[in-house]
């Protein structure tokens, strides 16, 4: 049995079964609810943190040293509630995908989330001196509704979405007579599931509080989220993430969406942590800044699309001998600049093409490791909290992320990609050119 046949018969069915799980679909779609807040938060963070020192000095001298506080407020109030938005979005999408009224499920998930968070916080006026810390009751700690609560939000959103949908579909609900408005019907239908879900949440909260003097959210953060963030923030984590995206695409599975649905819940908190360090003026590895962030994934691993294909498109446009590839290069260059590379993936083709699969799978992990060690060696600083949309063209997105160093880094990534793709494309181009010459000699000429 060939490798391709083994993968198609043994590996792909398992991968597709995992991708099509109800939980995976709800996670992939629900986490997107945080996207607008992350983009808006990035814009407001970019205003005071624009990577030109002269601009910062001018604004500070003109508007005062604290001129950026309003922008930080908006940034923190958008990116700082991503856990809360995620639990709403995931439960909503789970219920919607199951064909039941989704808003009630989302509200139950939000309420359950609040129940499982401690209703107090500890204030420490002097850092590293816990002896003078004091407790403030009847508050919701913002850290738990933000990035620190992301994994717990995913867990709660999925479980609540499943319980609520299952109970409604099994008709475990209060029935209202005909003629009652739909809003009232939906409200009463949700009462029994709400009683069960919120009651169980209260019991879980009590167990963690009175037995362990902690909360469910805090325990999940310590034993699940922090290890996952640490694993993703390693060279091996970057390598695995970068490898799986093109690997899935080779078989026609949308690698960016599939892998993103899994890792966004880990990488977005990494970005949020870095944003907090950036606002505090402590964005460096010594203060715990993360290397592998959401921008690392969106704007480097997937730079110009899965497989980092802009280098291939440029080679195709400039050096192709065959009319087929010259035309494809002309058609693909503009979309590729905006990180849309399906014309290249299916036009070359790369999907199910063993020859072009080699550079396609090699380039993202190679460039991910180069970027990782460039940051870990402190040649360039870690990325901050600015998250350009994935369609932002290369070099410009790098500049927004971290100024000139990251713009240059994106250029380096593109050049490396072109060099790796070149020998493989040269072979594919020669085969296509030979076919065109043969067709022309047989009377079926192809013109450029």
pTM of the shown model: 0.86
Residue 2's pLDDT is what? Answer: 63
Each residue's pLDDT tens digit, 411-424: 999 999 999 999 99
Q: Are strands 120-123 and 134-137 parallel, antiparallel or unpaired?
A: antiparallel
What are the residue ranges in the chain where pLDDT is below 70? 1-4, 7, 126-131, 443-448
pLDDT digits (tens, 9 = 90+) for 368-404: 999 999 999 999 999 999 999 888 999 999 999 999 9
Strand, coil or helix: 276? helix
pLDDT score recorded for residue 231: 92
**pLDDT at residue number 119:** 82
For the chain, the first-to-last Cα distance in angstroms comes to 41
- Long-range (24+ apart) CB contacts under 8 A made by 195-201 are 196/163, 196/167, 197/108, 197/112, 197/160, 197/163, 197/164, 198/108, 198/111, 198/112, 198/115, 201/111, 201/112, 201/115, 201/116
Q: How many residues does the chain have?
A: 448
Alpha carbon dihedral 400, 362, 269, 402, in 10-degree steps, equals: -20
Scan for tokens 């192809």, then name that residue: 446
By the 8 A CB rule, do 233 and 270 touch? yes
Position 129 scores a pLDDT of 64
Residue-level pLDDT at 448:
45
């Amino acid at each position: 049995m060939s490798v391709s046949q083994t993968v198609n018969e043994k590996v792909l069915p398992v991968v597709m079964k995992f991708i099509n799980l109800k939980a995976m679909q709800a996670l992939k779609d629900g986490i997107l609810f945080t996207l607008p807040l992350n983009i808006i938060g990035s814009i407001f963070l970019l205003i005071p943190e624009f990577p030109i020192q002269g601009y910062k000095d001018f604004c500070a001298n003109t508007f005062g040293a604290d001129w950026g506080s309003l922008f930080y407020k908006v940034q923190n109030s958008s990116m700082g509630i991503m856990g809360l938005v995620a639990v709403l979005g995931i439960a909503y999408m789970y219920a919607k995908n199951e064909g039941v009224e989704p808003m009630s499920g989302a509200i139950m998930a939000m309420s359950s989330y609040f129940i499982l968070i401690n209703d107090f916080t500890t204030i420490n006026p002097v850092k590293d001196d816990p002896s003078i810390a004091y407790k403030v009751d009847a508050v919701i700690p913002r850290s738990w509704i933000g990035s620190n609560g992301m994994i717990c939000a995913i867990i709660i959103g999925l479980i609540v979405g499943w319980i609520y949908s299952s109970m409604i579909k099994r008709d475990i609900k209060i029935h209202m007579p005909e003629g009652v408005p739909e809003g009232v019907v939906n409200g009463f239908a949700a009462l029994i599931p709400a009683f069960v879900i919120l009651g169980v949440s209260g019991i879980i909260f009590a167990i963690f509080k009175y037995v362990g003097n902690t909360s469910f959210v805090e325990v999940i953060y310590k034993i699940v989220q922090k290890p996952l963030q640490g694993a993703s923030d390693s060279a091996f984590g970057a390598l695995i993430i970068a490898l799986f995206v093109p690997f899935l695409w080779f078989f026609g599975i949308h690698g960016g969406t599939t892998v993103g649905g899994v890792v966004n819940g880990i990488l977005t908190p990494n970005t949020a942590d870095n944003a907090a360090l950036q606002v505090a003026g402590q964005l460096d590895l010594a203060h715990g800044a993360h290397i592998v962030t959401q921008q690392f994934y969106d704007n480097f691993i997937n730079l110009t699309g899965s497989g980092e294909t802009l280098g291939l498109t440029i080679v195709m446009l400039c050096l192709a001998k065959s009319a087929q590839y010259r035309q494809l290069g002309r058609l693909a260059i503009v979309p590729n600049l905006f990180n849309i590379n399906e014309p290249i993936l299916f036009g070359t083709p790369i999907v199910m093409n063993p020859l072009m699969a080699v550079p396609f799978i090699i380039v993202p992990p190679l460039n991910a490791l180069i970027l990782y060690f460039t940051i870990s060696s402190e040649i360039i600083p870690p990325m901050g909290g600015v998250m350009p949309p994935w369609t932002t063209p290369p070099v410009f997105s790098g500049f927004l992320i971290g100024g000139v160093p990251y713009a240059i880094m994106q250029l380096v990534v593109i050049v490396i990609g072109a060099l790796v793709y070149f020998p493989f494309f040269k072979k594919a181009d020669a085969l296509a050119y030979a076919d065109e010459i043969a067709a022309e000699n047989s009377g079926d000429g192809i013109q450029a």
